[in-house]
Structure 1
Amino acid sequence: MASILSFSTIPTLGSSSSSSSSPRAFFPSRLSSLSLNHRSSLCKSVVKCSYAEAGVKDDFRSTTIDVVADVKTERVVVLGGSGFVGSAICKAAVSKGIEVISLSRSGRPTYPGSWIDQVTWIPGDVFYTNWDEILFGATAVVSTIGGFGSEEQMQRINGEANIVSVNAAKEFGIPKFIFISVHDYNLPSFVLSTGYFTGKRKAEAEVLSKYPNSGVVLRPGFIYGKRRVDGFEIPLDLIGQPAERILSAIENFTKPLSSLPASDLLLAPPVNVDDLALAVVNAVTDDDFFGVFTIEQIKEAAAKVKV
């Protein structure tokens, strides 16, 4: 039997009330084009829903149902969520009670993990995805998109793909965008002019332009942790962890060398992938956290969430 669904906490779909009464970021005008499944999923995030069978008298006193659900205050879309950095962000976010949707070419990871079942995994490409379905109800977008290849490939992956994502999020009304960029290592200009770095910097500029008061750019150096490649686990922490401790301990002595070209290739402390993920969580939950963040600031942000 067909049923009628209404929400007591938001304007009824298709009502003639002013659109200004409903925040664009959460209930965009294109909501009416979504499928019934997507609309009904919204019921999970509100406190009270009302159902009335077709032909039955609309008596809200008798049909109102109090929904005791795990209501999450944040819903984050992670672009590249099945990758090394993206999966760490997804794991950290769900551990803090944040609802997570991942969009990546590979979709759901094949390795085990209880947290994996708490993420909505969507296979797709940012150039061809249906953003209405991906961004519906989101409060933030996190992009971990990046890679190496030819000049053209690096411009497209590091720059264009992220720029497309930033503009899609802005158009949809998502209030916050977080971009995982890269430390410049104090490299000479001819190296920084390659597609990898120029693509990243173009994406940074787009984030800061479209989100001047809520955009976040994180610039980590070498990221370490247990990285899975083709079914094998590479323990990057065996190198990164001791290097981080040593470089952090001697930082005061090495600062005078920081002005030397490419000095940070040796002197910039590595970043634990879990710390980077916690810094992202901090960015998602703290409205005063925006702008460009260095390696040290990333670690400080992570420490706040750990506490």
Structure 2
Amino acid sequence: MASIFFSPSLSSASPLSTPSFQPRSHLHLQPRSCRFGVRCSYVDAGVRDDYAPNTIDVVADVKSEKVVVLGGSGFVGSAICKAAISKGIEVVSVSRSGRPSNTSSWVDQVTWVPGDVFYLNWDDVLVGATAVVSTIGGFGSEEQMKRINGDANIAAVNAAYDFGIPKFVLISVHDYNLPSFLLSSSYFTGKRQAESEVLSKFPRSGVVLRPAFIYGKRRVDGFEIPLDLVGEPVEKFLSVFGNFIKPLSSVPASDIFLAPPVSVDDLALATINAITDDDVFGVFTIEQIKEAAAKVRA
């Protein structure tokens, strides 16, 4: 006689116990990790013991990741998509432009969905997802920046929360020591409002990454802008002489020059670390982003 049991790997209840559930509108019904067991008894089937052992137990741990990247066709978003694909993570990108013009092989492995977060059919996009990453952000008028950096991200956070997605990662911005009249811009206030929403709705799994200047090879209208020609030398300079010029950090707005740039590849790897490590949550500074990237790269 054969019996099959299926139970969440984190549950300590016996196979015969009856689990209880708290009804919540954002209950996640698709566990990220499960255990599947098969037990066969040859004695009950009338098979002689000298032909086979009495019992065979087969237990396997299965864990899969599926990430939805908002703004996945952009500079940072595409780097995250590429890094996720390289780690065997299933990727769905949502952006107004849809599929990028990039002809690299990894592009064909991403599901590209054209859409606006304010009018998106979230049920179709989020099904099966284990994490949502938002790279949404931009400049413009005060009203535009509030809508892009704040409202759009907040809408995405709430959609993920209501659907029951386990983790949300927000690409935000460094906490610059700028004058208050600059920090009151809707670019910064919008980002901070989005951060608060992430940390409120995902207190034990939400991740906020705060990079400063992000460098790498950025494509704009078919042209490649080599931001690494500026960012990489500055990052190396600050890593060598940072301790000598640290006293200047007390000077207002000095962060514009003294905050170390972050490689777009490091930011992408830090995002992968946030997606795959269930113990990672909270706000990550520039140095913490680089440390997280090193863990994935190792």
5+ unaligned residues in a row in structure 1: which ranges? 1-7, 11-16, 29-45, 48-70
- Counterpart residue number, 1:202: 193
* Structure with the largest fraction of strand: 2
- Counterpart residue number, 2:138: 147
| Pairing of 1:214-253 with structure 2 (within 5 A) | 214-253=205-244
Q: Is the 8 A contact 1:244 1:269 kept in 2?
A: yes
- The structure 2 residue matched to 1:100, chosen from 80, 91, 106, is 91
Output the CA distance in 2 between the equivalents of 1:197 and 1:148: 10
- Counterpart residue number, 1:25: 28
5+ unaligned residues in a row in structure 2: which ranges? 8-17, 37-61
* Structure with the largest fraction of helix: 1
Deviation at 1:251, TM superposition (A): 1.2
- Counterpart residue number, 1:80: 71
Deviation at 1:254, TM superposition (A): 1.8
2:225 is paired with a residue whose SS is strand
- The structure 1 residue matched to 2:246, chosen from 244, 252, 255, is 255
Deviation at 1:112, TM superposition (A): 0.6
2:251 is paired with a residue whose SS is coil
Deviation at 1:184, TM superposition (A): 2.6
Q: Is the 8 A contact 1:72 1:99 kept in 2?
A: no
Output the CA distance in 1 between the equivalents of 2:82 and 2:30: 27
Deviation at 1:228, TM superposition (A): 0.4
Higher mean C-alpha displacement, 17-26 vs 267-276: 17-26
Q: Do structure 1's residue 110 and structure 2's residue 113 form an aligned pair?
A: no
Output the CA distance in 2 between the equivalents of 1:96 and 1:255: 37
Output the CA distance in 2 between the equivalents of 1:269 and 1:179: 20
Q: Is the 8 A contact 1:178 1:215 kept in 2?
A: yes
| Pairing of 1:161-176 with structure 2 (within 5 A) | 161-176=152-167
Deviation at 1:25, TM superposition (A): 2.4
Name the larger-Rg structure.
2
- Counterpart residue number, 1:60: none
The residue type paired with residue 256 of structure 2 is L
- Please tell me the root mean square deviation across aligned C-alpha atoms, in Å: 2.4
Q: Do structure 1's residue 282 and structure 2's residue 269 form an aligned pair?
A: no
Q: Identical aligned pairs, as a percentage? A: 74
The residue type paired with residue 263 of structure 2 is N
Deviation at 1:185, TM superposition (A): 2.1
Deviation at 1:288, TM superposition (A): 1.2
Output the CA distance in 2 between the equivalents of 1:79 and 1:255: 36
Output the CA distance in 1 between the equivalents of 2:258 and 2:297: 26
Q: Is the 8 A contact 1:72 1:98 kept in 2?
A: no
Output the CA distance in 2 between the equivalents of 1:21 and 1:118: 37
- Counterpart residue number, 1:4: none
After TM superposition, the score normalised by the length of structure 1 is 0.79
Deviation at 1:26, TM superposition (A): 4.2
- Counterpart residue number, 2:287: 296
When residues 101 and 9 of structure 1 are mapped into structure 2, their CA distance, relative to the original with a 3 A threshold, is farther
After TM superposition, the score normalised by the length of structure 2 is 0.81
Residue deviations 1:75-101 (CA, integer Å, cap 9, x gap): 000000000000000000010011110
Output the CA distance in 2 between the equivalents of 1:184 and 1:254: 19
1:156 is paired with a residue whose SS is helix
- Counterpart residue number, 1:177: 168
